[in-house]
Structure 1
């Protein structure tokens, strides 16, 4: 299995990516997905995501490699957008395919939790009134990611 990892400015097509991951495959019994969308909280006009090309993809590759080691995945796709993203637009797509639903669902949760806390992206919020601010890390995201640090049964 060769995971697909992309960091891009363009919107992604979740249905096309799901089809590409599972079409014609008889070893896929479950396909879990997560799509992160930009919300319009408190007058948000756009979210601007920055990254270091190469460094970010390598970090995502390490996260995906950890998922592949922990679960019997038959396929994995991670697409993360950068640039200016407006409310309602997709930010991130995570797809995890496995022969069984539990592995697909668990690995998808792991992937998004670790992407949120371990992939090097910098986020700035732009507001309709012209203000902007950098987004700080959240303790709740760290706590969600930390649950995967515990030994698995």
Structure 2
């Protein structure tokens, strides 16, 4: 049986410690900044869904994109399981606007000032903690796992 779910996340540039978000300018989204996300296709894993979505929206061609899992939960508004991811990129690129959406890089400290849903703020906060733990682990510092 095919189980529908939702996968979303952002691009992360480690050197500048910025994340890429999108602002959809549609009546439904009211110009909120949001993660990149969408529903899965039949047979896709959550990671494949997220990769397909960012590849399509941002026209990414890299086969070497590593998707990092943050966490998952049941999203009561979507009535689906929701998986959160991020992918690291080496080059801080500016992405051209597309129909109904613009893209911008933000430092984590700027997120609180954005027009953004509380759930998206929570998802980004948890992702930052996961990223920080990964950095500490790579430096040989103790982390909780």
Pair in the same fold by TM > 0.5: no
TM-score of the pair, normalised by structure 2: 0.29
TM-score of the pair, normalised by structure 1: 0.28
Q: Which has the larger radius of gyration?
A: 1
- Higher RCO, Cα 8 Å, sep 6+: 1
- More helix as a share of residues: 1
